[in-house]
Amino acid sequence: MRVFWAILWKDIRYELRRRELVAVMTVFALLVVVIFAFAIGIRSESPASMAASVLWVATSFAGTLGLNRSLALERDEQCLKALLMSPADRSWVFLAKATGNLVFLLAAQVILTPLVIVLFGVEDTGHWSLLGVTLLLGSAGFVGVGTLFATMATSTRMRDWLLPILLFPVEVPVLIAAVKATAHVFSTAPPGESTIWIAILAAFDLIFVSMSILSFGFVVEE
């Protein structure tokens, strides 16, 4: 457990000092949202569905960029190699890296989500707690698998385009569930409809993150 907190705090301190990863992810995501808003039109017959779709498209693009950059820094500075040479449990190393990536992605979403709500004219339904849970679970599922694949991709010369090719086909169930849950939260539908998709999202997270934890030790040894 001490290994987890040490690695997580190291990543957070590094980002607070450099202020690079979250800034790049946020700017990129904001540009994606603005482009989509003007390309498809801000006024839509179903603003809730449109806003949810654009939000998660921007999140997935920015998240992929952040994952690539985060693990590339570890490889370039030999930090990951040093961690693997230590007696630390591989599971704690993975969970610390994934949690750090999750914190950075959620930080970008804190800025991104209000812009999406304003641009697409989403009504205030008051279901902000459900929105928070959806963003947390959706992002956790994304970075859980993404951290594993980013670790695999960073050891290759083609890491910039290999990660999206590996990641997006696997992330389809998580992204669909996240979009559906977010769309219901943004709409005037009863909360029960969104909780169904949130439960499905939680199940996907449990399966994908568990598989990633079990696979991480084999991946880093390659």
Q: What is the pLDDT of residues 91-143, one digit of tens each?
A: 888 898 899 999 999 999 999 999 998 888 887 777 788 899 999 999 999 99
Question: DSSP code of 156?
Answer: S
pTM reported for the whole predicted model: 0.88
Note down the domain range covering 49.
2-221
Element (H, E) at 65: helix 47-76
Question: What are phi and psi for residue 189, nearest 5 degrees?
Answer: -65, 155
Contact 178, 140 (CB under 8 A): no
**Whole-number Å distance between alpha carbons of 203 and 181:** 13
- Please give the structure tokens belonging to residue 203: 């199940």
Is the separation of the CB atoms in 158 and 136 below 8 Å? no
Q: Which residue has the higher pLDDT, 41 or 148?
A: 148
- How many whole angstroms separate alpha carbon 146 and alpha carbon 162? 12
CB 108 within 8 A of CB 31: no
| Helix or strand run (H / E) with residue 40 | helix 21-40
Model pLDDT for residues 15-63, shown as the tens digit of each residue: 888 777 888 899 999 998 988 888 776 666 678 888 999 999 999 999 9
Q: In angstroms, how far is CA 190 from the centroid of its own chain?
A: 27
Give Cα 21 to chain centroid, integer Å. Answer: 13
Domains: count for the chain: 1
Residues contacting residue 135 through CB under 8 Å, at least 6 positions apart: 106, 109, 113, 182
* Distance between first and last Cα of the chain: 25
